[in-house]
Amino acid sequence: MDSTTAGTTPDLVHLRRNGVSLVLSTGAGRLPRIVHWGADLGETDEAVLQSIARAAKPPIGHNLNDQVHDISILPEFEAGWLGRPGVEGSRHGTAWSPEFRVVTQSLLLDSTMDDGYRGDLLRVEASDPVAGLDLTVETALLESGLLRARATIANRFEQQPYTVGALRIVFPVPAVAGELLDFTGRHIMERVPQRSEFTIGTHSREMRGGRTGLDAAYLLIAGESGFGFRSGEVWGTHVAFSGNQALYGERIYNGARVLGGGELLQHSEIVLDGGEKYESPWFYGSYGVGLDALSGRFHQHLRSRAGHPRSPRPVVINTWEAVYFEHDLATLSELADRAAAIGVERFVLDDGWFGSRRDDTSGLGDWSVSREVWPEGLGPLIDHVTGAGLDFGLWVEPEMINLDSDLARAHPEWIFSAGGRTGSSSRFQHVLDLTHPGAYDHILGALDALLDEYDIAYLKWDHNRLLVEAGHTPGGEPAIHDQTLAVYRMMDELKARHPGLEIESCASGGGRIDLGIIEHTDRVWGSDCNDPLERQQIHRYTKLLVPPELIGAHIGSSPSHTTGRTQSMQFRAFVAAWCHLGIEIDLRTLAEDELTGATEWIAFYREHRELLHSGTVVNADHPDESIWVNGVVAADGSEALFGVAAMTRSTAWPPGLLRLPGLDPDRRYRVSVVPPFAASAGHGPSPDWIEEPIVLSGRALENAGVQIVPLWPEDAYLLHVVAV
């Protein structure tokens, strides 16, 4: 069945969206099984679908169950699945291997779902009356071509609680997917790629810190060996949740390969009484040829949201690396004036404005303006900032608490603890248990009062420690699941009470970036590291999931405050300008040439941000790994920007022609170097085309290329490509 056809649900369903086909088997009373997920199969009728299903059916192997081992969305022990089951749990040792049989199923075509996304949705209701469990499985192919699924399990027995251990979704991938890519990292070094062969066994990445994590797998991608940004079939998966989670690739000796994931539940975290239910996060899958196609689906998906930021993303100045905790009205007013003069549009006051917060040892939890630092409140500073033409933002960390705070002294029972102990601190802080109604109401009320009193357009919402021993007082029950939902709820409530408020997700930098938190925020902070060399890699791989307009990137100081590297203003600004641009420097200390460079780059960003934040993100697979090429191409193919950066010294020079991907192959384009690079790009003799822009077809630019401008390490230049 094609996605444009309405009707009852047949045993085989064919959904098609944006170059992707999904064929689902829904017969025999069993949970849905994916027959095909990948390249578009074209129009099909029932006979063709039956042939596709027959062609994909494996034989019954020696010494296996006497049934075909096709894998459901939630693979089942009872069906002979040999890997991780979709449902784990028990009723005091019973009902640990449920046998779900479909009761009803419905197919909603070209429909709007409960979160506003459009696509085709198969909803299946199933039950195991012996185990006393009901199950709902929703599988959708969205307009973007993204696949997603989630499950809800419910307890039917009034007097017998059911403990949920796991509720996992799996998407099968074909045998051609022989290589895995996921990510690791640490503070100020997020999104480090790691590749491995997709061998028999389980490749599992588990995040137990109560947030997505600096070392998060982020995406788990399986693809043809050697796949790149522009080549090789790839299948990528992501868990849309900001708490504990697991992503895994599993290959069984019988030939099955799956990518699976879900929330990682702590022991007895979800215990269902009669009539209660647990809903898993959405598990997303993206298919494409090359990583650019995979990421493009996520970008299209997020940009289709009703709440996606539509206004131009304002240039930000953040005060953290400029003044740290040293706050005073005169200094910050001068910083705002200098920022306004170079084109900045938003001023964000970072940590140190509240309670006893003169350093990071005290004050968290006391969200009232410090009268010691701000005797007249924040009004005079905000009036000065807005009078200079900037809007005002404020740093907060609502989920955290210092033991040296008025709130901790008044309500120690609101602090996470397990085993009757508060546990170890991290950065001198602990975690406030927002699952306590009193704690939730107190923090919500404090933030709401600030937003009522002051003209605040933006909250930088930080989360600077892991949730270790996150137990609910007094019993110590695990609470990360409910804590995550409470944070979502609080963000939504603040935005509902204060229309137009924007929220940034920050967590020691890029420690909470996922499709769960993005549904409640307007920007994510890419990293606490403003070193552009580190940021190149962070941006490249953060953009696999998140479009550039949602990724905060700031021009930092030289030397870098986090790595000590010294870099030119050109390189620092070049790297930051591809995302949501900001600056994090004490502008009073900049030399005249650096101030001029920053001004030029802010002007460039403001002139081109519509293209930067709406176009298709592309990356070239340059044969010389020292050269990185990224770009953005307008949706109508009329214009593009490409950046070329030297990450290290190249063994040979020149390192090969520069290919520019993603353009309309049949259009002709004028290629020129963009100011502020025109006068300074390269070191040594440049190719002839630099002096006089050339005109080539999109096909020639992608398949033949142009000679590169000479570069030194940590140097870069920009190309403007315009259709003629």
Which residue(s) pair with 81 in the sheet?
A: none
- Average pLDDT on 425-431 reads 95
Confidence of residue 2 (pLDDT cuts 50, 70, 90): very low
pLDDT in tens, 99-142: 999 999 999 999 999 999 999 999 999 999 999 999 999 999 99
According to the model, what pLDDT value does residue 59 have? 75
Q: Is 528 a catalytic residue?
A: yes
According to the model, what pLDDT value does residue 151 have? 98
CATH number at residue 110: 2.70.98.60
Domain assignment of residue 16, yes or no: no
- Average pLDDT on 50-62 reads 83
Q: Pick the catalytic residue: 182, 528, 621, 715?
A: 528
Tell me the C-alpha distance between 421 and 217, whole Å.
31
Domain assignment of residue 219, yes or no: yes
- Average of per-residue pLDDT values in the chain: 94
pLDDT in tens, 235-294: 999 999 999 999 999 999 888 999 999 999 999 999 999 999 999 999 999 999 999 999
Domain assignment of residue 715, yes or no: yes
45 residue type, one letter: D
Q: Please report the DSSP string for 330-380 in residue order.
A: HHHHHHHHHHHHTT--EEEE-S-SBTT-SSTTS-TT--SB-TTT-TT-SHH
8: pLDDT strictly greater than 80: no
**Nearby residues of 363 by Cβ (< 8 Å), 6 or more positions away:** 354, 355, 356, 357, 370, 402, 404, 405
CATH number at residue 637: 2.60.40.1180
pLDDT in tens, 547-587: 999 999 999 999 999 999 999 999 999 999 999 999 999 99
3-class DSSP assignment, residue 573: helix
* The last residue of a domain, from among 254, 279, 301: 301
Q: Pick the catalytic residue: 128, 366, 391, 462?
A: 462
Domain assignment of residue 254, yes or no: yes
Higher-confidence position of 69 and 354: 354
According to the model, what pLDDT value does residue 178 have? 97
Q: Is 462 a catalytic residue?
A: yes
9 residue type, one letter: T
Which tokens sit at 440? 């939730």
Domain assignment of residue 182, yes or no: yes
- Average pLDDT on 482-508 reads 98
According to the model, what pLDDT value does residue 614 have? 97
Domain assignment of residue 136, yes or no: yes
Instruction: Judge contact between 631 and 618, C-beta under 8 A.
Output: yes
Confidence of residue 3 (pLDDT cuts 50, 70, 90): very low
According to the model, what pLDDT value does residue 692 have? 85
* The last residue of a domain, from among 301, 323, 355: 301
Which residue(s) pair with 87 in the sheet?
A: 167
* The last residue of a domain, from among 249, 281, 301: 301
Q: Which residue has the tokens 């230049």?
A: 717
68: pLDDT strictly greater than 80: no
Domain assignment of residue 70, yes or no: no
495: pLDDT strictly greater than 90: yes
Looking at the 3D structure of the chain, how many domains does it have?
2
Question: DSSP strand E in 55-161: where?
Answer: 87-90, 101-112, 118-128, 133-142, 147-155
The full 3-state SS of 415-441, as one line of letters, equals ECCECCECCCCECCEEEECCCCHHHHH
Domain assignment of residue 91, yes or no: yes
205: pLDDT strictly greater than 60: yes
pLDDT in tens, 138-179: 999 999 999 999 999 999 999 999 999 999 999 999 999 999
Q: What CA dihedral angle connects 299, 304, 310 and 316, to 10 degrees?
A: -30
State the residue range of the domain holding 169.
77-301
Tell me the C-alpha distance between 465 and 209, whole Å.
8
Whose CA is closest to 98, among 142, 128, 56?
A: 128
pLDDT in tens, 176-193: 999 999 999 999 999 999
Per-residue CA distances from 331 to 325, 335, 338, 457, 527 (Å): 12, 6, 11, 21, 26
Q: What CA dihedral angle connects 618, 623, 626 and 628, to 10 degrees?
A: -10
